[in-house]
Amino acid sequence: MFKPPPIIIGVGAPTIADVVAVARHNAPVQLSAEAIEAITAARQIVEALAADTTPHYGVSTGFGALATRHIPQDRRVQLQRSLIRSHAAGSGAEVEREVVRALLFLRASTLATGRTGVRPETALAYARLLTDNLTPIVHAHGSLGCSGDLAPLAHCALALIGEGPVRDANGTLTTVPDPITLHEKEGLALINGTDGMLGMLVLAIDDLRTLLPTADITAAMSVEGLLGTDRVFARDLHALRPQHGQQQSAANLRALLAGSAIVASHRGPEDTRVQDAYSLRCAPQVAGAARDTLAHATQVAERELASAIDNPVITPDGRVESNGNFHGAPVGYVLDFLAIAAADVASMAERRTDRFLDVARNHGLPAFLADDPGVDSGYMIAQYTQAALVSDMKRLAVPASVDSIPSSAMQEDHVSMGWSAARKLRTAVDALAQVLAIELLTAARGIQLRAPLAPSPATHAVIDALGTAPGPDRFLAPEIAAATDFVKSGRARSAAEAITGALA
């Protein structure tokens, strides 16, 4: 069995690829010597403050609205334990393993910056959880995205001190074999971060980097099957509007449709149609805008990966300062933006699918692409499923980040709701894959029904890899599930790129 190489956590920023390797491919992690040195230096500052008779927030005081109470030294271990216990107040379904691993990795990365004041053994314990494939139970509800993802991170910290459950590599519930005791400042350092929402953003970016080029593939197949024109994708037309994502999408469509006998068959004067419908003609404009949104979200994610989020924080010159960097607004906004973009790409794909099924608009194909219309229903209800998914995605596109709700006795009177934005984006991204899978199935069948006219080499390769053929009605749910896996795994994209080269 392939074992991925370890990801080294240093004082610098991890990459999106690092997060994906740990979260999705079980890469082990190690702390660099430089990180251990930075952690040790910051801890010395915290220990000096802990011995001071003057109260210091997060070191020798209570938290949040209780920050004015000075805690004597003999109660501070209990303070840390109480903080974690009380904040581990999540409820609902278990959060996916990959999300928890991303969250753990990102918290370990922040600890490694030396800006949080934890002891080296605490940071090493997080690395050990990941390497040993022990995943704390985190619940879907509990974070307001300010001060960071408190409840989800507290459930991880609870596991670290031996009081919270974890799942091992086989999914069996257990506890960590070597729990630690938290000292001054460490409880806060383990829960004051945007790691949950950031982890889900990074995973969504990874998914959308596959799904958006796949949306170009399904659009190209729909253009072929619906006898659309490729003239609207010409380079010079898109040069008139220098939107980068739009130009990338149009270039993909040109490559995907190159050599299509179906497209070539109706280029002559006998084709009296003046323009294609927007869902065909404007595909690069919508998929391109989604790409530009993804590019912006990626920039925000990379900045957040380079951040040290905690409160209070140890500054490079040795000060311990309260701050508001835990507020999730930068991440929350782009999570919402991506949900909007995903919904719009899906909405356009559903409209193309619907055109295939309507004899008034599909240019000579049988009703619902049925083998024997009337006896067979073809893809009629597959489109219902697609429409239901798109309708859900439109509701998921309503921003969470504008829905602040005050907490902590009005101390935390404006919160980001970034965790909620991330949870709904995960649902939206999964729905987008299913929507594209249904368009893929429908367009493939439409193209096959155009025989003996041949599709382009690229779309032909995708159809061959998909492995479906026209015929009487059959149990569609397994085909949709298989097509969804074909899309999500990147196999649809790989099949096309074997002909076109890399798609943007």
- For the annotated catalytic residues, the residue numbers are 57
**What is the spatial distance between Cα 180 and Cα 129, in angstroms, rounded to a whole number?**
12
- Enter the tokens of residue 394: 């439109």
Q: Provide the residue type at 347 as one letter.
A: S
Nearest by Cα to 138 from 181, 97, 85, 199:
97
Cβ atoms 312, 401 nearer than 8 A: no
Nearest by Cα to 354 from 265, 278, 264:
278
Q: Give residue 313's Cα distance to chain centre.
A: 28
- Enter the tokens of residue 320: 């311990």
Cβ atoms 339, 428 nearer than 8 A: yes
Q: Give residue 181's Cα distance to chain centre.
A: 33
Contacts with 146 (C-beta within 8 Å, 6 or more apart), sequence order = 326, 327, 328, 412, 414, 415, 416, 418
**What is the spatial distance between Cα 233 and Cα 246, in angstroms, rounded to a whole number?**
10
| Eight-class DSSP state of 474 | -
Please state, in angstroms and as integers, the Cα–Cα distance from residue 350 to each residue in 228, 258, 442, 445, following that order.
Answer: 16, 24, 10, 15
Cβ atoms 439, 484 nearer than 8 A: no
Three-state DSSP class for residue 257: helix
Cβ atoms 401, 146 nearer than 8 A: no
Q: Provide the residue type at 364 as one letter.
A: G
**What is the spatial distance between Cα 369 and Cα 348, in angstroms, rounded to a whole number?**
19
Residue at token pair 């080269």: 501
Residue at token pair 């920039």: 299
**What is the spatial distance between Cα 20 and Cα 479, in angstroms, rounded to a whole number?**
28
- Enter the tokens of residue 456: 């382009």
| Number of H-type helices and E-type strands within the chain | 19, 9
Cβ atoms 214, 493 nearer than 8 A: yes
Cβ atoms 138, 155 nearer than 8 A: yes
Cβ atoms 412, 146 nearer than 8 A: yes
| Eight-class DSSP state of 399 | -
- Rg of the chain taking only CA atoms, in angstroms: 26
